[in-house]
Amino acid sequence: MKYQRTEFEEVFADVAFESDKDNSRLEVPISRKTPYIFLTFIFLLFSFFWVRTLWLAIFEGEQWSLIAARNTERVFPILAPRGIIYDYSGEALVENVPIFRIVVDLTRMPQDKNILASQLGYIAKSLEIPQSELEDRLAKSESSTNLVLIREVKQENAVELSLIQAQNDIFWMSIESVPERVYRDSTAFAHVLGYTSEVTKEDIGSQANYLPTEEIGKTGIEASFDGILRGITGKNIFVVDAKGKTDKTFIEQEAKSGKNIRLTIDSKLQKALFKSLAQETKKAGARSAAAVALDPRDGSVRALVSFPSYDNNAFAQGISSEDYSKLISDNAKPLLNRVVSGLYPSGSVIKPVVGLAALTEKVITPQKRISDPGFITVSNIYDPSIIYTYRDWKAHGSTNFVEAIAESCDVYFYTVGGGYGDIIGLGIDRLAGWLRQFNLDKETGIDLPSEVNGLIPTPEWKEKEKGEPWVLGNTYHLSIGQGDLLVTPIGLATAISSIVNGGTVYKPKLIESIFEKKDFENKTEGQVINKISASEENFNWVKRGMRAAVNSSEGTAKLLNQVKVSVAAKTGTAQVGSKRTHAWIAAYAPYDDPELVVVVLIENGGEGSIAAAPVAKAALDAYFEDKDQ
């Protein structure tokens, strides 16, 4: 028998095939460690879950319960009534009046656009406003939680909306009764009280505790003491179901009213000053003015008026865009508080300060007479052929200290300020130093927003700001309140008050007390800014000059001699252009025992003795009308 030859590759393939068959049938025993490892893993896994459950239940249970509660609760703030602001005598200047408004919870708004549109339609129909207006307000909301949809609705609308809300499941809407500010004599007190208005995105960014549905003080006392007047907001809890509908409500925290404030303001004087300032400003053909009255004994502000004014109720009750645009586009700037934010050359009202400096520095004696032909001339130090002439408003002849203040003699103050003839004047360094003693280059610190610093020019300032050297003429101009000198009415009133009281520069005080109940008032004290380094005798010489301005035949403030108490004063006419002048006056009374300083400015009003003096007279008449002197 013949056998077919077998190739080597076939033998190798058969062997490999048999080997694979054996391996496929082979049962490899499991290692003894494997079950233990598996059981250990299962045990550890269940132990972890058991321990974690115990930890959550025992140690974090309360926290997670709160989180769960928050998922079913919605917090609506209960706005606290703001504190009441009173005048010095206890008369309320503002009150809280309850109104109804519509607030929406943006987190509970229907996701279905058709449902939302239908519900907005019901609301719009009830309020008789376009539905698109409501949709725009929702679209423009800067808040992600709550939004005041309608700021104020009538009581009958509020009742109707409550029925519509219940009938149509508008659970995301809340009709609230909240207090609204109503200001009395709003235009007369606007720049003192300020106003409240809705919180903006910027407000919330600056204060973490502001709520998107509350109103805060925006300017005036309302802003400066917002934290005191606001009180403590309460919490109204809405428990909602899975669909977002309200299941029940309860009050978690009652709102606490803000504290009350009693101002130093005298309402009668404030209204009289506002009325007279408005009348005399219009009579002078001017558009803007400012006036302030201080008690020189402690800096208390008895009246503060900026004209033109505005109706702060318009802001507190929701000013329209059109009305707001008119206010901010008005060239007379009714929103500007000129008493603290206006900067003006002082004119001759600064002369009592310069005079006190000259006496104290022994530049002049009260009896020394200076000849005033109506001007002085000074030669250029580099070219004597160039002559500079510095004019007075009239020729006063031979003049002493008292007469110089009473008659507002410019040549006299050119001489004692910059020097002339045989008299070496104060010079710019001493002159600027004395003006700084009276705090005229700084804020007074009055409790009102937006106060600005005054400006006392110096050689260093002029070189830096104008790139020019200081010359003698600059010192002459500064000596009579001209040139680059700028003051605020409140700063000038503070300076004059410190002359009147014998040298104490007080911070103007607007707050008499802060209290919750009138029986427990926490009264404030006057704060001293500086003490002027001058003798009582020199202060008295200055005051004699101011008295002579009223009761002498050549005095510039003779109109005030008609007031029933003795008055002292200094007028000023500050040049602000080739043909324009600001009218100033600073007056105080009674002369022997001062209790009121009045400073009046009428922008572009002409002469102080003509335009500003009648305002000061009206203020003094009103203040002393019922006082026995």
pLDDT of residue 225: 96
Give me the chain's average pLDDT, please.
87
Q: Which residues contact 471 (CB under 8 A, 6 or more apart)?
A: none
Residues 365, 406 contacting (CB under 8 angstroms): no
- What pLDDT was estimated at residue 590? 98
Burial, 484: exposed, middle or buried (Cβ in 10 Å; 0-12, 13-18, 19+)?
middle
361-365's contacts with Cβ under 8 Å and 24+ in sequence apart are 361/426, 361/430, 363/416, 363/423, 363/424, 363/425, 363/426, 364/401, 364/416, 364/423, 365/401
Which residues make Cβ contacts (< 8 Å) with residue 307, sequence separation at least 6? Answer: 274, 277, 278, 281, 288, 289, 290, 338
Q: What whole-number distance in Å separates Cα of residue 617 and Cα of residue 585? A: 10
Sequence-ordered list of residues with C-beta below 8 angstroms from that of 531, at least 6 positions apart, any chain: 503, 504, 505
Structure-token match 């009050």, residue found: 251
> Taking residues 117-142, what's their average pLDDT?
88
Q: In the prediction, which pLDDT does 17 show?
A: 46
Segment 302-348, tens digit of pLDDT: 999 999 999 999 999 888 889 999 999 999 999 999 999 999 999 99
Over residues 94-107, the mean pLDDT reads 89
Task: Return the higher-pLDDT residue of 518 and 123.
Answer: 123
Strand partners, 146: 105
The share of the chain scoring above pLDDT 70, in percent, equals 84
Torsion sign, CA atoms 98, 102, 104, 110: positive
- The secondary structure of the chain in percent helix, strand, coil, rounded to multiples of 5, reads 40, 25, 35
Residue 118 falls in the annotated catalytic set: no
Gap between the Cα atoms of 294 and 494, Å rounded: 8
Q: Which two tokens stand for residue 392?
A: 């007075």
- β-partners of residue 564 are none
Distance between CA atoms of residues 485 and 353, nearest Å: 13
Q: What are the strands, taking DSSP E only, across 497-606?
A: 504-506, 511-515, 522-523, 528-531, 568-575, 581-589, 596-602
435 CB-contact burial (10 Å; exposed 0-12 / middle 13-18 / buried 19+): buried
In order, the DSSP letters of 324-354 are HHHHHH-TT-TTS-HHHH--B--GGGGHHHH
Helix (H) or strand (E) holding 235: strand 234-240
Distance CA 546, CA 503 (A): 16
Which residue in 348, 513, 566, 609 is the catalytic one?
348
The pTM for the full model equals 0.84
Tens digits of residue pLDDT in 217-275: 999 999 999 999 998 877 766 665 555 555 556 556 777 889 999 999 999 999 999 99
Residue 152 Cα to chain centre, angstroms: 26
Spatial distance between the Cα atoms of 629 and 623, rounded to a whole number of angstroms: 12
Amino acid identity of residue 615, one-letter, is: V
The token pair at 618 is 């009206």
My answer on whether omega of the bond before 308 falls inside 30° of 0, hence cis, is yes
Domains and CATH numbers, the chain: 73-263 (3.90.1310.10), 267-313+341-624 (3.40.710.10)
> Distance of alpha carbon 304 from its chain centroid, rounded?
15
Give yes or no for a cis peptide into 590 (omega within 30° of 0): yes
- Find the farthest-apart pair of alpha carbons in the chain and give their distance in angstroms, rounded: 168
d(CA 343, CA 333) in angstroms, rounded, equals: 14
State the DSSP H helix or E strand holding residue 447, giving kind and residue range, or none if neither.
none
DSSP 306: E
- Closest by CA position to 573, among listed 245, 344, 412: 344
What's the pLDDT score for residue 2?
Answer: 46
DSSP track, 193-216: H-EEEE--HHHHHH-TT--TT-EE
For tokens 């600001």, the residue is 582
Residue 289, pLDDT above cutoff 70: yes
Tell which residue, 475, 436, 476, has the closest CA to residue 455.
436
User: pLDDT value at position 26?
Assistant: 47
Work out the number of other CB atoms within 10 angstroms of the CB of residue 17.
10
Could you read off the pLDDT of 544-584 as tens digits, one per residue?
999 999 999 999 999 999 999 999 999 999 999 878 999 99
Pure H helices in 27-173: 33-58, 61-70, 113-127, 131-139, 155-167
Residue bearing the bigger pLDDT, 17 or 146: 146
By the 8 A CB rule, do 354 and 427 touch?
A: no
Angle at 150 between CA 149 and CA 153, to 5 degrees: 150
**pLDDT per residue over 49-87, tens digit each?**
666 666 555 655 555 455 444 455 666 677 888 999 999
Question: Over the stretch 451-496, which tens digit does the pLDDT of each residue have?
Answer: 999 999 999 999 999 999 999 999 999 999 999 999 999 999 999 9
Burial of 450 (0-12, 13-18, 19+ CB in 10 A): exposed
Distance CA 267, CA 275 (A): 12
Enclosing H/E stretch for 612: none
How far, in Å, are 217, 410, 545, 585, 608 from residue 391 at the CA level? 49, 8, 22, 21, 19
Angle between helix 613-624 and helix 267-283 axes, rounded to 10 deg: 160
Exposed, middle or buried, 551 (CB in 10 Å: 0-12/13-18/19+)? middle
For residue 508, give the amino acid letter.
P
pLDDT of 364 above 50:
yes
Q: Do 48 and 214 meet the contact criterion of CB atoms below 8 Å apart?
A: no
Residue that is written with structure tokens 């499941």 in the block: 169
What do you get for the CA distance between the two ends of the chain, in Å? 163
- Pick the closest to residue 99 from 161, 155, 162 (CA basis): 155
**What SS3 state is found at 584?**
strand
Residue 93 in tokens: 């200047």
Residue 572 CA to chain centroid, in angstroms?
29
Integer Rg of the chain from CA:
39
